[in-house]
Amino acid sequence: MSSARATRDARPGLLVPLALAQFICSFAGSNMNVMINDMSRDLNTTVRGIQSAITVFLLVMAALMIPGGKLADRYGRVRLFRLGLAVYGVGALLSAAAPGLGVLILGNSILEGIGTAMLIPPVYILATLYFTDTASRARAFGSISALGGVGAAAGPLIGGLITSAISWRASFVFQALVIAVIVLLSRRIADPLPPDPTHAFDVTGAVLSAVGMVLIVLGILAVSWSIWLTVALIVAGASVLALFFRTVRAKERAGKEPLLSSRLFHDRTANLGLVTQNIQWLLLLGTSFTVAAYLQVVRGYDAVQTGVIFTAATVGLLTSSLGAERFARRHAQRSLVIAGFVVSIVGIAVLIVIAYNFSSPWAFAPGLLLIGFGLGGMLTPSINIVQSSFGEDMQGEISGLSRSVSNLGSSVGTAIAGAILAAGLTRGGYAAALITLGSLGLLGLLAASGLPRSRAAAAPGEAAATSRTVPR
């Protein structure tokens, strides 16, 4: 099948299930933010307990995305996608019936996290392989990232409505139903490349990378208990990741296949793109958790009131995400990412000012609208920059790494917000969490300013040539 034929045949049936898969996984990362009071009461736990479940879900995704990308090459992208859907669906149903926090963590944090790590890398690999020219790929990534961003931004609204109308448990049944729809819609998706069972799987590397990321996020979570424990865990995590990269180099010198090729980190543009992806999701999930917790615990809003306020973020994100293709034709990807960070940081500043000067819940809408618009406008170009920096033979690895970095940002953002808020759910704690997130946004802006000034990323087949001509 030619590239043009694959693109044309894939458009009607491929994008919908792939985009829905990204939607429901992003939805799962944010919808629980508005259920904090209801879930903690029903499960006999605390706000910190629910926040831990959310963070563990995001962390499991981050820790397993890289292995998921490798397994997609080994066993087949479509096969792994469908298996991930099954695992996720079981986790959603188990979460719906959870009698306590432990079962919720097993179903939501572990099984849904594992299922997501299995199905998301194939989403981006399939989109990259089927849509080979810059315009069609921008459209594909725009659709997928738009629904992913909407899932994260609208998660509080949808979750709030379901919780108020029925129960928080029904939100997990909703997830299982969406998974069933995706299974039906994906029946005709064919794998554009055959699986390669000869692909080695680096078990040692998978364990080391996962342990390193887990330790770092646990260190952030521990900041409200002991600063020394935080330092110890972060140093331990960094040490484990350093050992992981040593094993990567050692395997490559020995002629063996590591979990990640060191070539992934030799492209400066891709590295900067990964940094921007990490901080984008850190800002989205961090601000979502901070604002949702503040509105419920400090101001006493219920799930649906909190969710309705987040409509502003959803509108902003939808508006900019759906315009991704038009923006890409008119502006360089670097400019879009820079503008996105600037608008998002301004939105965070507005949210801080609002809490101290206005009592109306709708006063939060302008800040959330700006954050949604800014993040939605840069999700697609960041993904395109990273994925298009490598050829087809590297798509499994870079997709796993890209999604891992993004989900690590989500878990770190939630952990940072939760750790600060745990020290005191007051206006001061709320402001401190947002100031911290805004400061990290400035780091993302700095990374974006280092991206090349070219108008569009090359298709995978053009990556090698582009690396010689694009200023780095």
How many structural domains comprise the chain?
Answer: 2
Regarding predicted confidence, which is higher, 267 or 424? 267
On whether residue 21 sits in a domain, the answer given is yes
- Write the CATH number for 267: 1.20.1250.20
> What tokens were used for 265?
């980190």
> Both 254 and 269 in a single domain?
no
Structure token pair of residue 306? 């909190």
Given a contact cutoff of 8 angstroms between Cβ atoms, the answer to whether 388 and 464 are in contact is: no
Q: Does one domain contain both 368 and 219?
A: no
Quick one: pLDDT at residue 228?
85
For residue 240, what are the domain limits?
202-258
In a domain, 181, yes or no: yes
pTM of the shown model: 0.72
Q: Are residues 112 and 212 in the same domain?
A: no
Q: What pLDDT score was predicted for residue 423?
A: 63
Q: What is the CA radius of gyration of the chain?
A: 21
Are 156 and 301 part of one and the same domain?
yes
Residue 442 carries which side chain, given as an amino acid letter? Answer: L
Q: In the structure, what pLDDT confidence band is assigned to residue 455 with cuts at 50, 70 and 90?
A: very low
Q: Which residue has the higher pLDDT, 23 or 382?
A: 23
pLDDT at 352 exceeding the cut of 80: yes
Residue 400 has a pLDDT of 67
Burial (CB count <10 Å: 0-12, 13-18, 19+), residue 368:
buried
CA distance 16 to 144: 8
Structural domain includes residue 6 = no
Sign for the CA dihedral angle at 323, 325, 331, 333 comes to: positive
Q: With 60 as the cut, is the pLDDT of residue 459 above it?
A: no
Q: What is the pLDDT of residue 2?
A: 44
Q: What percent of the chain has a predicted confidence (pLDDT) above 70?
A: 86
pLDDT digits (tens, 9 = 90+) for 356-414: 777 777 788 888 899 988 988 887 788 778 877 776 666 656 766 777 777 777 777 77
Say which residue, 8 or 178, is predicted with more confidence. Answer: 178
* The pLDDT value given to residue 425: 59
Judge if 94 and 136 occupy the same domain.
Answer: yes
| One domain for residues 242 and 123 | no
Is residue 9 assigned to a domain? Answer: no
Per the CB < 8 A criterion, the answer to whether 45 and 168 are in contact is: no
pLDDT of residue 123: 86
pLDDT of 10 over the 60 cut: no
- Name the band, by pLDDT with cuts 50, 70 and 90, for residue 328: low
- CA-CA-CA-CA dihedral for 364, 169, 91, 27, to nearest 10: -20
- Residue 334 and residue 428 share a domain: yes
Is 161 inside any structural domain? yes
Question: Average pLDDT of 92-121?
Answer: 91
pLDDT tens digits for 262-295? 777 888 888 888 899 889 888 888 888 888 888 8
Please tell me which residue, 99 or 148, carries the higher pLDDT value.
Answer: 99
Task: Find out whether 53 and 101 touch, Cβ atoms under 8 Å.
Answer: yes
Q: Choose the weakest-confidence range: 1-10, 45-54, 296-305, 425-434.
A: 1-10
Same domain, 211 and 338: no
pLDDT of residue 64: 82
State which amino acid sits at residue 449. Answer: S
> In the structure encoding, which two tokens stand for residue 231, read together?
């330092």
Instruction: Evaluate whether 115 touches 81 at the Cβ level (below 8 Å).
Output: no
**Least confident among 71-85, 123-137, 192-206, 455-469:** 455-469
- Mean of the per-residue pLDDT values for the chain? 79
pLDDT value for 12: 54
Report pLDDT for 424: 63
* pLDDT at residue 183, as a whole number: 92
Cβ atoms 17, 77 nearer than 8 A: no
Same domain, 336 and 412: yes
Q: Which residue has the higher pLDDT, 79 or 456?
A: 79
pLDDT in tens, 207-236: 888 888 888 878 877 776 778 888 898 899
- Residue with the larger pLDDT of the pair 97 and 11: 97
Q: pLDDT > 90: what percent of the chain?
A: 16
Q: Are residues 327 and 216 in the same domain?
A: no
State the pLDDT at residue 182. Answer: 93
Tell me: do 64 and 169 sit in the same domain.
yes
